[in-house]
Structure 1
């Protein structure tokens, strides 16, 4: 489990810091800014990977009346989050150091991923790989590992994870598998 000291208020790479802006509504129905702040980064694997939890929902469709989704997101930040928010969604940015290879893992989620910076290789447990470049999109269905193939440049991805039903193949249910990274994905205290 991490502590607030494990968080950095600045990105751990040279990549541009990001700002999260959340909107809401006044009583007259006009949209206004609820909050705006720079991201907080959760460092993993000796700063080879940094995760930034942008936003979560704890149900889908989300309940925005009375800012219930904002309240639920703050509770998730306080209580911690693994990779997927059961019954909800997760929006996360990840920075990968040059040459870094993520751990082979499987989530119980449907993920939309976009490469924002650099190039990153997606590897599947079948041995198949594909090199994704800036602007490429992957629809990931309960699979993956990632590798920044550059020896000198950082890579950044943007993912939205949607909780899914357990996946069954040939009558066998494939569960979530975080490999030896499970201990790194305990509640992060990534409070924004």
Structure 2
């Protein structure tokens, strides 16, 4: 008999909305109406819900003629294939399910992670760990790491901003991306 995943507790976190500003034809500030304000999420098999808040293909961000906004609209239809957009940036929410297994990975990005709800654990390949609580910020700089939710009953929500970066080099060795390793040992 195949094993089944335990049921996910009810998710009591609110929906996520984004409000994007732009300019009308006369140059007056207005809200963009061509992008749905409530953000849909993609559920991962590893126990997380991903919300793509905004993304772009380069920085400085090309605001002229809504170039960045048009690129983002394309990303809403066809999600970026990789965690990071080469030369670009993205921002997303991730809701971590209770007791979801950690997913070990390294991205060639500079990430800013802000805990919005609950608690998450950030574990480094060295074995060092930190519990981040609501309002805490982690600056993740291309290290092998894993995020997990230590609660067995409550969801956690984290807001990330990720900027493309050059791979870290340690002792002359470039440390490239490593994505989606369920167990690192």
Over aligned residues, Cα RMSD in angstroms? Answer: 1.5
Q: What's the counterpart of residue 155 of structure 2? A: 154
Q: Gapped runs of 5+ residues in structure 2?
A: 1-9
- Which range moves more in the overlay, 50-59 or 73-82? 73-82
Task: Flag the structure with higher helix content.
Answer: 1
Q: What's the counterpart of residue 6 of structure 1? A: none
**Deviation at residue 93 of structure 1 after TM alignment:** 0.2
TM-score, normalised via structure 1 length: 0.83
**Deviation at residue 180 of structure 1 after TM alignment:** 4.0
Tell me, yes or no, if the aligned pair for 1:95 and 1:157 is still in contact at 8 Å: yes
2:24 & 2:164 partners in 1: Cα distance? 31
- CA offsets, 1:12-37, max 9 Å, x none? 82200011111101233221001352
Q: What's the counterpart of residue 89 of structure 1? A: 89
2:88 & 2:102 partners in 1: Cα distance? 24
TM-score, normalised via structure 2 length: 0.86
Q: What's the counterpart of residue 21 of structure 2? A: 23
Q: Secondary structure at the match of 1:179?
A: strand
Q: Do residues 74 (structure 1) and 73 (structure 2) align?
A: yes
Tell me, yes or no, if the aligned pair for 1:119 and 1:133 is still in contact at 8 Å: yes
Q: What's the counterpart of residue 136 of structure 1? A: 136
Q: What's the counterpart of residue 50 of structure 2? A: 51
Q: What's the counterpart of residue 127 of structure 2? A: 127
Q: Gapped runs of 5+ residues in structure 1?
A: 1-11, 182-192
Higher relative contact order (CA 8 A, sep 6+): 1
1:99 & 1:166 partners in 2: Cα distance? 31
- CA offsets, 1:43-102, max 9 Å, x none? 0116x2110001101110100111000111122333332211111110000001111133
Q: What's the counterpart of residue 172 of structure 2? A: 171
For 1:93-132, list aligned pairs within 5 A.
Answer: 93-132=93-132
Query: Aligned pair count?
Result: 169
1:117 & 1:17 partners in 2: Cα distance? 13
